[in-house]
Amino acid sequence: MTFGVHDSAQLTVAMNTPPGTFAPLLPVAVVSNSLTIYAQNNTDADHVQDVSLDYLTLTSPDGRPLDYLRRVEVYLSPAAGSPDQFLLASAAAVPDGVTGLRLASAGNKFDQFVSSGRYVLVLKVETDQPLPNDQPLRVDLDFLVKARPR
């Protein structure tokens, strides 16, 4: 069977992020609703065969354009401070005037992260201008899960 798992997180691009530098934002712990969704689909983490990114959307929750972003990469990590980071999605060029952006999937598999119910989201961004204040970002992640029934 195949079904989806949706997670989301709020992050902040700090106003002191230096323009032209590709820098990581503060990592954000995500508590996934995957285990609940698995149960609703009569399966569990032991029966999951594959988890891949269906799509990832980056938006400005306050409706401001993302003009300050030049490029962005999104990683998953098993824990804060872990050197293990796996590329989830990226955008090599962020167009001006958009308040939302769907990022291209890196094509990696994320069974271990989503099935654990917890993971850390790490964004790396390059800005192209100084920021007058902190900029909020919302990340919506939609994973495609293939699993066997329990």
Closest CA to 25 of 34, 35, 14, 39: 14
Q: Where are the domains of the chain?
A: 2-147
pTM greater than the 0.85 cutoff = yes
For 57-74, the pLDDT digits (tens) are 999 999 999 999 999 999
pLDDT of 27 reads: 92
Is residue 97 a contact partner of residue 55, using CB atoms and an 8 Å limit?
no
Q: Which amino acid does the sequence have at 59?
A: T
Q: Do 67 and 97 meet the contact criterion of CB atoms below 8 Å apart?
A: yes
What is the maximum span of the chain, computed from C-alpha positions, in angstroms? 52
pLDDT in tens, 115-139: 888 999 999 999 999 999 999 999 9
- The token duo for 82 is 């872990």
Q: Which residues of the chain have pLDDT under 70?
A: none
pLDDT at 80 (0 to 100):
83
CATH, domain 2-147, list 1.10.101, 2.30.30, 2.60.120, 2.60.40: 2.60.120
